[in-house]
Structure 1
């Protein structure tokens, strides 16, 4: 991806709205994608415990912002 706010970053952020970590996967960042996906899916699966769901919501928002502001290697 080129720069912060580029079309690729916007597409990645939109992908993250539908599934956490998908935007990082589109950007080629496999480890970040796995971490966001595991934390969010696990937290949402435990929604009845409330605290994991809140943590998952925060991570989901963080994944969206991270994809939108990613600057790349150069």
Structure 2
């Protein structure tokens, strides 16, 4: 995954649409994958409170965008 918009980033973004954090896991970003999965899962589980569901939907969208715009550090 050399640049934004590469095939790897598109695949990661598509993975995040179905399961939040899965695209980050595909990219090898374990902490981000765990964070996005847990926060959206908890938010969606508390959908009946409305506010957590809205926050979860926003975090889900941020997760998709984050995977699509990821640029690996190539300094080494």
Q: Is TM > 0.5 for Structure 1 vs Structure 2?
A: yes
> Counterpart of 2:2?
2
Report the count of equivalent residues.
74
Q: Which runs of 4+ in 1 moved over 3 A?
A: none
Distance in 1, Cα, partners of 2:31 & 2:2: 20
Which TM-score applies when normalising by structure 1?
Answer: 0.98
Find the structure with the greater CA-based Rg.
Answer: 2
Distance in 1, Cα, partners of 2:72 & 2:52: 30
> Counterpart of 1:17?
17
Q: Which consecutive unaligned segments of at least 5 residues does structure 1 have?
A: none
Q: Which consecutive unaligned segments of at least 5 residues does structure 2 have?
A: none
Distance in 2, Cα, partners of 1:32 & 1:2: 19
* 1:43-62 Cα deviation digits (max 9, x unpaired): 00000000000000000000
Deviation at 1:11, TM superposition (A): 0.1
